Structure 1
Amino acid sequence: MQKKLFLLDAMALIYRAYYALIRSPRITSKGRNTNAQFGFTNTLFDLINKEKPTHLAVCFDTHAPTERHTDFADYKANRQEAPEDLLDSIPDIKKIIEGFNIPVVELDGYEADDVIGTVAWQACAKGYDVYMVTPDKDYGQLLTQPCIYIYKPGSFGNDSEILTAEKICTKWDIKRVDQVIDMLGLMGDAVDNIPGIAGVGEKTAAKLLKEYDTLENILANADNIKGALGEKIRNGKEAAIMSKKLATIITNVPVEFHEEDYRLKEWNKDALVEVFTELEFKTLGKRILGDEFNAFNAAPQSVQTDLFGNSVATKTPIAKKEAAPVITGEESVGLLTEHNIHNTPHKYELVQGKEAIEQFVQALLQQPEICFDTETTHIDANEAELVGLSFSFKKAEGYYVPCPADQNETRAILALFAPVFDSETINWVGQNLKYDMLVLKWYGVSIKGKIFDTMLAHYLIEPEGRRSMDLLSAQYLRYEPVHIEELIGKKGKTQGTMRDVEIEKVKEYAAEDADITLQLKHAFEPLLAAREVERVFNEVENPLVRVLTDMEFEGVKIDVNFLNDYSKLLETEAKKCEENVYAQAGVRFNLASPKQLGEVLFEILKIDPKAKKTKTGQYATGEDVLQKLAANNPIVADILGFRELTKLKSTYVDALPQIINSKTGRVHTSYAQAVAVTGRLSSNNPNLQNIPIRSDRGREIRKAFVPRDENHVLISADYSQIELRIVAAISGDPNMCDAFKQGKDIHTATAAKVYNVAEADVTKEMRYKAKSVNFGIIYGQGAFGLADNLGIPRSEAKEIIDNYKKEFVGITSYMDDTIKFAQANGYVETLMGRKRWLKDINSSNFTVRGYAERNAINSPIQGTAADMIKLAMIKIHNEMKKGTWKSKMILQVHDELVFDAVKEEVDDLKKLIIKNMTTAMVLPNDVPVEAEVGAGENWLEAH
C-alpha cells in the first residue's frame, strides 16, 4: 500500500475553523467559544476517515521571531490581534491532537510552512505521497516534486480539493510552481504584509513572468520595460528582492522525518473523552468514539452535593475567560453529568383506570404548581395523537397516564382531568409548552392557569445558547435524561412508534421529563431575576404562548388552484429565460451549475475581466455579483430571472400544497419563539418570513393565502417604519423625532437635511439614497457598504454619511453611547429589558469586536420592535377573547399581522387592531407609533 503522509498547517486550519462559525458560535454552558476546537476536530477526523493516511503530523508556528522578522521588521505587522477565543483554543487543540496520538512539530525561529516544506521534501524522497493540509496559497511553490500535493479541506458545503502542480500553474497562470515565489515577490502578499512592487498586481506579474521567466530577470531587464510599469519595477527593485525572500518557504529546517514517529497509532481514548467532555462535544464525541464516549468519568473529582443534598464526587468544571459576566448558575457544569435514572432515587408511578385517575386529579388540585408534558405520535402538534400525559409537582416524583389508541377513550380520560385544566390557580410548567397546549387543543382542552415555559426562560437567560431539554438538564442539573432514541431507536417522535414501546419504559421516560423540567424551572427562576429579564418573560414571552397556540391551531387557507396555475406560468417564464441565456451565450450548459455558469460568463463571454473566484477556485456567481453586472449585460438579467422563477416555483408555489393539513385543509405554520437572538419570531412549514415581497413575481405568492370562505376577508395590519421610529425614540435625536411628530415622510425629511435642500426640492434619487442611509446606519453600514449598495463612488457615500451624522447628532451619540455601555456592562437591552450578551465587545481583534459593536447598535432596535409586536398580539388576542369575536388572528410576519375576519366584523376589528398596535408600547420622547390596515380577498390585496 502506498504510504501517505498528511502534514497539517495548524494555525491556518484553526483560523479557518474559528471564522467559519463566527456568526453562529458554539458556546459551552460555561460561556466558552469552541468554534476553533470543534472545526479543527471535525477536519482532522474527516481527513483520517476519508483519506486513510498512514502517517500524519500537525505543525504549529511558535511565538519566537523568525529570520523573516529580522530581515523585515514589518513582516506580518499589519495582522490584527487574534481573537481571544481563538488563542484560548490552542491548548485544547493540542490536547486533542495528543489524544489522537499524532505528533506536534514546531521549532522556534521557523514558521509552520517551513517545517511542513522540509518534512514534505524529506518524506517525498523516501517514497511517500505527501499532502500539505492548508488553505494557504504560498504552499504552491513546494510542489516541485510529483509526490507532493496541497490538500484544501472542504468548507461551507464544498468538498475538499487536492491541488497538483498543474492546477497551481493554471491558477497562477505560470509555467512552473517555483514561479509562485516570483509572483509573490512582484505582487506582494497583503496577508503577511509582504510589500512586493507597488502597483503590480497578479495579472501584470503573470504577464511579466511569461516574458522574463524569473523575478531576477525582470529586474535585470527593467530598463527595457517601457512606461509607468518599467518605472514601478525600477523603483521597487529592493522591495521585490526582499519580498521574494520573505515569501520563500525554507526547506532545510533542522527537523528529521522519522517514519515511526509519524505513523498513525491507536488513539488515547481516555484523553479524548476528557477533552471532549470539557468542550461539551457530546454529539461529535459519540461520532468519533462511539459508545465508548462517556461524559461521566472524564474530569478530576471534587466534592459537591447531588440533586438531593448528598455529598458526591463530581467533575470540576473548566475555568472560563469572559469579556462579560455570563450567569448560568453555580451548579451548571455542562456535560459533566453525574446523575441519571439508574443512580438517582426517584418515584415514577403509572396512573391507570378511572378510579386511580380521579384520586390523582384530587391530588393535583391541591398543588399550586404542576409540570406537564405530553407523549405523542408526531413531532408536528397538528398531526399528533396523544400517547400519554405526564405530571410532576415534587422533585424526583413523576406520574404517567397512558392514553389508548382509541381516541374516544383518550377524550374520556381527558374529561376526567377537566377540573385540573380548568383551574385558574395552578401554575403550569413545561418545556416548549406551546406544543403540549396545541396537542390538547385538538382534543378541545385548554389550560386556564398561568404558565412557565422553561425553554423560554432559558432563551431570555442565554439568548444565543442551545436549549434542548437534554442539554439544559446536563447543564443545570448535572443529570442525563433517558434519550428517546433508547426507546424508539431513532431521533424524534415518529408516527406510531411511541405506542410500540413497553409502557413501563414510556413511564420512566415521560415521568422523568416532567420531573426534570420542574427542576429546571426552579433553577431558572433565580437566574431570570439575576439577569433582570423577569419583566419580558412575564409580560411578553409567556403570555405569547397562548396567542401562538391559537394562531397555529387556526392556520390559513391556501388557494391550490391559483398555485397550480401560477406554477405553470413560472415554468413557462423560466424556460423562456433559460433559452434566452443559451441564445446569448451561444452554447447550452447546465444553467443551475454555478461552475459552468461562471465559465460561460467569464471565460467564453468575458463579461467581466476582473471576475473574482471563490475559495474553491470557481468563479463567484452569487446574486450580489450578478446584480452589479446586470445593467450592461442582458444575459445576466435572464440568469437572475431564471433563478428567481425556479426558486419561487420549487420553494413556495409547488411546496405549499404539499403541507396542507389533511384534517383541516389549511396550512398551519409553526412559530419559534426561542430562536432569533433579537426576539423576533421565526416560522417554518412554511417559513413566512422568507416569502418574497420585493419583486412582483414574489408578491404574487401572497394571492394564494385566502379567507376561509366567502363570508370572510383577510385583514393585514402593518407597523409603519417602526424600527426608524424606535431609533428616533431611543436616541432622542431632535430632527428625527420632530419629523415623526409632524407626520413627515421620514426619508424625504432625511434627504432634505443631508442634501441641505427644502423638502419640496428633494428628488426621487435623493430620497432613495437617504432611505438607504436610514436603514443602513442602524445595521452598522459604512461608506464602503453604502457605496456598494447604491452603486455610487465611495467618496460620495462618505459625504452622505458624514452629512447624516452632522444633521442627526442624536443618532451618532446613541451609537457611541450604546457601544460604551456594552463595553462596560457586557450587554445591551431593549426598552422592555430583553438583553443580548456580547462577550466579544472588548475583543482586541477588530473583526470580532466590530461584529459585536454592530450587534450592540442593532439589537436594542430590532429587539424593541419584536417586543412591541408581541405585546400588540397579546393585547389584541386578549381583547378578542373577552368579546364575542368570530374573526381570528392567523399570521405574523415581521411587523405585520394577518387576520381571517368575518365580513361584518371588519370595520370594528380594524379599529381594535390599530388601537392595540399603536398603544402596545409607548415610545420615549413622544415619538408616535403608527400602523396601517387593509382588507382584501387575499393576502396581497389586503396588504
Structure 2
Amino acid sequence: MMSQKRLFLLDAYALIFRGYYALIKNPRVNSKGQDTSAIMGFVNSLFDVIKRERPDHLAVAFDKEGSKDRLEIFPDYKANRDETPEAIRIAVPIIQDILKAMHIPIIEQAGVEADDLIGTIAKQAEKQGYKTYMVTPDKDYAQLVSDNIFMYRPARMGNGIEIWGIPEVQKRFEVERPEQVIDYLGMMGDAVDNIPGLPGVGDKTAKKFIAAYGSMEGLLENTDKLKGKMKEKVEANAELGLLSKKLATIMIDCDVTFSEDDYVLSEPDSKKVQEIFEELEFRRLKDQFIKIFSKEEDSVQNSGSSTSKKSTTQAGAGQFSLFGENIENGAETDTFSNRKTIANTNHFYQSIAPGMAMKLFVQNLLKQEHVCFDTETTGLDALTAELVGIAFSWEIGKGYYIPFPENKEDAQEFIEILRPFFESDTVVKIGQNLKYDIKVLAKYNVEVKGELFDTMLAHYLINPDMRHNMDVLSETYLNYTPISITELIGKKGKNQLSFRQVPLEKQTEYAVEDADITFQLKEHFAPELNAANTLSLFKDIEIPLLRVLADMEIEGINLDKAFLKSLSQELDNDITSLEQKIYQEAGEEFNIASPKQLGVILFEKMKLVDKPKKTKTGQYSTAEDVLSYLAKDHEIIRNILEFRGLSKLKSTYVDALPNQVNVVSERVHTDYMQTVAATGRLSSNNPNLQNIPIRTERGRQVRKAFIPRNDEYTLLAADYSQIELRIIAALSKEETMIQAFKNGEDIHASTAARVFNVPIEEVSREQRGNAKTVNFGIIYGVSAFGLSNQTSLTRSESKDLIDTYYKTYPKLRNYISEQVDFAREHGYVQTVLGRRRYLKDINSANAVVRGAAERNAVNAPIQGSAADIIKIAMINIHKKLKEGNYKTKMLLQVHDELVFDVYKPELDEIKTMIKTEMENAYQLEVPLDVDLGLGNNWLEAH
C-alpha cells in the first residue's frame, strides 16, 4: 500500500521574522557588516523541515503588497504594524535567490497574503489526496486544520516542533470545529493585524461565547441572553464583529492552482546555492546543505524522524572502557531527552576513575596536538571556588571527565597527576573563557603553559557585537542547545545545589558536553579568524593579554576600608544637606529618588518648562539628559543632579567596595572583560573600577581608598597623554596637528590659536576650553547643538567654530569622510591592528540610525586603536616584570591608564621601563607621550 503523499507549505515572512527576532540580541553579522539573522533563521527553518521530514512536495509563500481585499473593506487593516526592519527587507530577495537555486517554488501574488495562498493550495491539495503541513508559528492558520491539513509549528531556537491537528486545535481554542477559530479571532480581534474585534471581549469571553452560541452570527442572534454592559457593547458593535470575522477569515479561493509536478522537492543547483552561502559567509549552513542533499545523508535519514544523541564506544575510546563510567544517553529516555542534538553526532562521554586509569589517561592526553579542557567548580568566583572536576575533549563527540575529591590534599594529588598536561608546551589548550580556568588552577599552584585557543575571544574578534557565551554560540553555530546548569543545580536561591551534589553521571554528561561543544566551536572559528584577517590580533594580542589579566586579577589591590567608612559618613552629611535644600526650593518634602514624585514637583507644581517631556508610560521624564539641559537655569535641578551623583557614589562604591574585599587576600580583585566593548576596550566588573567618577571632587576621593600593599611599596600611575587625538592626527595625516604634537605644544591651546586666529600665548582660558571640547568632540561627531550645550557658545557660534576647525584641519575632515565611505562599501571599519567594528546600519534608510553608524565609523578606529596600543604595552610590561623577577606588580588598567604597585628599591628602574614600553608600544607618525605619577594612594599617583 502506497503511503499518502505529503505537501509542506512554508509561510515565508512568519519564519523570516521569527528567525530575525530570535537573534535580535545577538545578531549574525558577516565580515561585510551585513546582518544575516533573518536569512539564517529562515534557512535553518527550511533545512530543519527537509532534514526531519524529507517531504515529497514543498513550496514557500510570500506576502506581496498586503491584502487588497481586506484593505478595501477596512483601510486600517494592519495599520498598527511597525515598518519592516531594514535587515528583513534586504534579506527577502536573497532568500528568494536561495529558493530559486534550490528549485523550490515560490508562491507570490500581488495584493494577496501568504496565509490566503497557503489556505487555497492546502484545500486544493487535500482534494487531490495529499496530507498538507502548513509550516508557520502563526496561530491563525488553525482555522484551516482538517483531517489532512495540519499546522507544523517550529519551536523556539529549533528545539523540536509542534504539530496541530484537529484535537490540538480543539484543546487550544476550546472549539468543536477548527473553522470556529475564525469566530474566536473575530470576537477577540488582533492588535497585531489591527482587527478591532468586539470591545471588551478577550480570550476567555470569546471561548465562552463560542461554547454557548457556536459562532459570531449565533452570538449576535442571541444578544437578548447577555446582560449589562456586555450586552450593550455586543449589540452596538455587531457590524464591527462581522467585519472582524471577515478580516480574520483566511481565503481558500485565491487565483492560484496547486500543480503537483511543480511542487516536487527536486535536485537543487548545488553550485549556485553554495556560491550564495559563501557570499553570505554561511560556512556551517553550506556544510549542512551538502550533507542534506548528499546520497549518504539520504541513506541514513528517515522521513519524519529527528536525530537523537546516543552513546557509542568508538575506535580509540575503548581503551578507557574499564577506567570509569560510560554515559549512555538513549533517545527520549533521560532527563535531557527534550533537548535538540547536534545533527549526526553520536557521542561517547566517560568518567575516569582514579589510580592507574588516570595515569594512562594523562599519557594519552600528552600525545594529542589539541585538547579542550573545562573546569567544573563550586562557584563562579575563580579565587574562592574549588575544583569539582575537569572535562577533556579532543575529538568531536568524545570526551572524558575526572571528578575531584572534596579533600584538598587529595585534590592536589589529582592535580599533580595532571600537571604534565597543563604545563606541556607542545599541547594546544582549548577552552571557553580560559582566564577563569587559569585562575582556578593557579590556586592549585598550576601554570597553564603552551599555546591557547579561547573560543570566547575568537568569536569576539569574528563578531564583536554578538554575545559570546557558550550556549549562544552553540545554538548559533552548531544548532544545538546544551544542558542548562539550572537543570542540574536549580535556579538561584537557598535551594540551589552545589555542583558537587549532582550525581556523577550527570556531572559527566554536563561537563564533557561543554568541552565537546567548545572543541567543535574551535574547529569552526579557527578558519573564520583567518577569513576576517584577525588571526594575528587573536594570537599576538588577545590571547597573551588573557594571561596578563589573569595575573592582575589574582594580584588584586589593597583597600583603605577605614577611609571609606569616614567618606561614607561625610557623604551622608552632604546628601542630607542637599535634601533640605531641595525640599526648601520645592516647598515640601517628597521622595527625591522617585521619578514620578520628582516629575510632579518639577513640572506640575514648579512648572519649570511649558511642555515637559514624558515617558512611554505617561510620566514626566526626569532622565539625566532632560535634567542636565535645565540645570544651568534652575538651582533645584543642579542640587537634584548632585544628590543623585552622591547617592550613586555612596551606594555603588563607598559602601560597596569594602564588601568586595577577598577574605583570604584582604584585597579587591576586579574581573577584566575582554569581550564586552565592541571597540576593543577592556571593561571591569565586581567591582567596576573604570566608572569611578573623576570629574567631581567627591568622585576623585574614592581613588584615595586604593593604596599600596605596605610601606615598602608605592603606587605608580602611567597615563597616555591625549592618545586619541594623537591617533586621529596620525591616521588623518593632518600635518598641522602632527607638528604641534612633535613640538610638544599644548594641543588645545595650539588648536585655539589657529581657529580663533590669535597668537598661542594670547589664547584665553575660555578659548582653550572651547577648542578642547571641539578637539575631543570631533571624534564623537559633535554637532553645533551638542557643542553649544557643552560650552557657553550659541548654536550659530558653535557652527562657525566647527566650520573654522575643519578649514584649519582639512585632512581631518577628509579622513572622516573616507572612513564613512569605507564603512559604506565594506560594512566595517578597523583599527591600526586590524580589529574590525561591523556597522550593519551604515547604509540604513533611517537618517538617525545611519548617523549613529557614521559616528561609530569615525570613533571606533580611534578608540579601538588606543585600546590595542595599551594592550600591547601591558603585554610587553608584564613580560619584562616576569623576566626580571621584579617584585613590582601591574594592578589596574583604566582606559588609557595603568596602575602599578612598585617596590620602592625598584622604582627608578621600573619608571624608565614602563615609560619606554608604553611610548614605544606602537609606532605612529605622532609620538606617544606618557605621564607618570607616584603616591601613597591612587588619587595622589593620578
SS in 2 for 1:445: coil
In structure 2, do the counterparts of structure 1 residues 115 and 455 end up closer, same or farther at CA, with 3 Å as the change threshold?
A: closer
CA contact (8 A) 1:819 1:856 kept: yes
Is 1:461 equivalent to 2:462 in the alignment? Answer: yes
Question: Which whole-Å CA distance do the structure 1 matches of 2:632 and 2:398 have between them?
Answer: 69
CA RMSD of aligned residues (A): 4.2
Task: Name the residue aligned to 1:782.
Answer: 783
Question: Which whole-Å CA distance do the structure 2 matches of 1:306 and 1:587 have between them?
Answer: 75
Instruction: State how 1:279-290 maps to structure 2 within 5 Å.
Output: none
Question: Which whole-Å CA distance do the structure 1 matches of 2:937 and 2:499 have between them?
Answer: 40
Question: Which whole-Å CA distance do the structure 1 matches of 2:195 and 2:894 have between them?
Answer: 55
- The superposition leaves residues 816-847 of structure 1 with CA deviations (integer Å, 9 ceiling, x where unpaired) of 11111111111111110111122222222222
Question: Which whole-Å CA distance do the structure 2 matches of 1:494 and 1:378 have between them?
Answer: 15
Question: Which whole-Å CA distance do the structure 1 matches of 2:912 and 2:368 have between them?
Answer: 42
- The superposition leaves residues 50-101 of structure 1 with CA deviations (integer Å, 9 ceiling, x where unpaired) of xxxxxxxxxx995989999xxxxxxx9xxx9975136579999996554696
CA contact (8 A) 1:377 1:493 kept: no
CA drift at 1:505: 1.8
CA drift at 1:793: 2.1
CA contact (8 A) 1:114 1:253 kept: no
Is 1:552 equivalent to 2:539 in the alignment? Answer: no
Instruction: State how 1:812-831 maps to structure 2 within 5 Å.
Output: 812-831=813-832
Task: Name the residue aligned to 2:935.
Answer: 936
CA drift at 1:614: 2.9
Task: Name the residue aligned to 1:698.
Answer: 699
SS in 1 for 2:291: strand
CA contact (8 A) 1:717 1:897 kept: yes
Instruction: State how 1:286-305 maps to structure 2 within 5 Å.
Output: 304=291
CA contact (8 A) 1:484 1:491 kept: no
- The superposition leaves residues 446-488 of structure 1 with CA deviations (integer Å, 9 ceiling, x where unpaired) of 1121111111011111111122222222332333333323322
Is 1:355 equivalent to 2:342 in the alignment? Answer: no
Task: Name the residue aligned to 1:720.
Answer: 721
Task: Name the residue aligned to 2:797.
Answer: 796
Question: Which whole-Å CA distance do the structure 2 matches of 1:65 and 1:764 have between them?
Answer: 70
SS in 2 for 1:304: helix
SS in 2 for 1:602: helix
Task: Name the residue aligned to 2:682.
Answer: 681
SS in 2 for 1:666: coil
SS in 1 for 2:837: strand
- The superposition leaves residues 858-910 of structure 1 with CA deviations (integer Å, 9 ceiling, x where unpaired) of 11111111111111110000111101201111111111111112121222111
- The superposition leaves residues 22-75 of structure 1 with CA deviations (integer Å, 9 ceiling, x where unpaired) of 9x664489944579x99xxxxxxxxxxxxxxxxxxxxx995989999xxxxxxx
Task: Name the residue aligned to 1:887.
Answer: 888
Task: Name the residue aligned to 2:605.
Answer: 604
CA contact (8 A) 1:828 1:856 kept: yes
Instruction: State how 1:132-171 maps to structure 2 within 5 Å.
Output: none
Task: Name the residue aligned to 1:481.
Answer: 482
Question: Which whole-Å CA distance do the structure 1 matches of 2:410 and 2:627 have between them?
Answer: 61
Code of the aligned partner of 1:470: D
SS in 1 for 2:690: helix
CA drift at 1:740: 0.9
Question: Which whole-Å CA distance do the structure 2 matches of 1:565 and 1:795 have between them?
Answer: 48
CA drift at 1:115: 9.6
Code of the aligned partner of 1:927: V
**TM-score of the superposition, structure 1-length normalised?**
0.69
- The superposition leaves residues 753-786 of structure 1 with CA deviations (integer Å, 9 ceiling, x where unpaired) of 2112221121111111111111111112222222
Moved more, 847-856 or 578-587: 847-856
Instruction: State how 1:127-206 maps to structure 2 within 5 Å.
Output: none
Instruction: State how 1:376-415 maps to structure 2 within 5 Å.
Output: 376-415=377-416
In structure 2, do the counterparts of structure 1 residues 66 and 516 end up closer, same or farther at CA, with 3 Å as the change threshold?
A: closer
CA contact (8 A) 2:819 2:857 kept: yes
Task: Name the residue aligned to 1:767.
Answer: 768
- The superposition leaves residues 326-375 of structure 1 with CA deviations (integer Å, 9 ceiling, x where unpaired) of xxxxxxxxxxx996389732232322223222222222222222211101
SS in 2 for 1:436: helix
Is 1:522 equivalent to 2:517 in the alignment? Answer: no
Question: Which whole-Å CA distance do the structure 2 matches of 1:883 and 1:584 have between them?
Answer: 62
CA contact (8 A) 2:35 2:87 kept: no
CA contact (8 A) 1:379 1:494 kept: no
Is 1:433 equivalent to 2:434 in the alignment? Answer: yes
Task: Name the residue aligned to 1:84.
Answer: 86
Task: Name the residue aligned to 1:507.
Answer: 508
CA contact (8 A) 2:182 2:245 kept: no
Code of the aligned partner of 1:844: A
Task: Name the residue aligned to 1:540.
Answer: 541
Question: Which whole-Å CA distance do the structure 1 matches of 2:302 and 2:474 have between them?
Answer: 15
Question: Which whole-Å CA distance do the structure 2 matches of 1:92 and 1:743 have between them?
Answer: 68
Question: Which whole-Å CA distance do the structure 2 matches of 1:687 and 1:882 have between them?
Answer: 30
In structure 2, do the counterparts of structure 1 residues 741 and 120 end up closer, same or farther at CA, with 3 Å as the change threshold?
A: farther
SS in 1 for 2:368: coil
CA drift at 1:713: 1.4
Instruction: State how 1:98-137 maps to structure 2 within 5 Å.
Output: 98=139
Question: Which whole-Å CA distance do the structure 2 matches of 1:836 and 1:893 have between them?
Answer: 21
Task: Name the residue aligned to 1:757.
Answer: 758
CA drift at 1:678: 0.5
SS in 2 for 1:891: strand
Code of the aligned partner of 1:304: K
Task: Name the residue aligned to 1:630.
Answer: 631
Task: Name the residue aligned to 1:160.
Answer: none
CA contact (8 A) 1:379 1:493 kept: no
In structure 2, do the counterparts of structure 1 residues 763 and 255 end up closer, same or farther at CA, with 3 Å as the change threshold?
A: farther
CA contact (8 A) 2:557 2:669 kept: yes
In structure 2, do the counterparts of structure 1 residues 805 and 591 end up closer, same or farther at CA, with 3 Å as the change threshold?
A: same
Question: Which whole-Å CA distance do the structure 2 matches of 1:259 and 1:385 have between them?
Answer: 63
CA drift at 1:259: 6.6
SS in 2 for 1:822: helix
Task: Name the residue aligned to 1:209.
Answer: none
CA contact (8 A) 1:307 1:477 kept: no
In structure 2, do the counterparts of structure 1 residues 493 and 739 end up closer, same or farther at CA, with 3 Å as the change threshold?
A: farther
Task: Name the residue aligned to 1:920.
Answer: 921
CA drift at 1:121: 7.6
CA drift at 1:123: 8.2
CA contact (8 A) 2:342 2:479 kept: no
Question: Which whole-Å CA distance do the structure 2 matches of 1:595 and 1:862 have between them?
Answer: 38
In structure 2, do the counterparts of structure 1 residues 62 and 120 end up closer, same or farther at CA, with 3 Å as the change threshold?
A: farther
Question: Which whole-Å CA distance do the structure 2 matches of 1:565 and 1:92 have between them?
Answer: 69
- The superposition leaves residues 350-402 of structure 1 with CA deviations (integer Å, 9 ceiling, x where unpaired) of 22223222222222222222211101010111121000112222332212111
- The superposition leaves residues 393-430 of structure 1 with CA deviations (integer Å, 9 ceiling, x where unpaired) of 23322121111110111111111222222222221111
Code of the aligned partner of 1:645: L
Question: Which whole-Å CA distance do the structure 2 matches of 1:754 and 1:147 have between them?
Answer: 72
Task: Name the residue aligned to 2:59.
Answer: none
Code of the aligned partner of 1:939: W
* Number of residue equivalences: 713
Structure 1: gaps (5+ residues): 1-10, 39-59, 69-75, 106-111, 129-145, 149-250, 264-300, 317-336
CA drift at 1:717: 0.9
Task: Name the residue aligned to 1:201.
Answer: none
In structure 2, do the counterparts of structure 1 residues 595 and 741 end up closer, same or farther at CA, with 3 Å as the change threshold?
A: same
Question: Which whole-Å CA distance do the structure 2 matches of 1:828 and 1:445 have between them?
Answer: 40
Code of the aligned partner of 1:560: K
Moved more, 90-99 or 720-729: 90-99
In structure 2, do the counterparts of structure 1 residues 354 and 254 end up closer, same or farther at CA, with 3 Å as the change threshold?
A: closer
Code of the aligned partner of 2:877: I
In structure 2, do the counterparts of structure 1 residues 578 and 339 end up closer, same or farther at CA, with 3 Å as the change threshold?
A: closer
CA contact (8 A) 1:348 1:508 kept: yes
Question: Which whole-Å CA distance do the structure 1 matches of 2:880 and 2:411 have between them?
Answer: 32
Task: Name the residue aligned to 1:836.
Answer: 837
CA contact (8 A) 2:197 2:240 kept: no
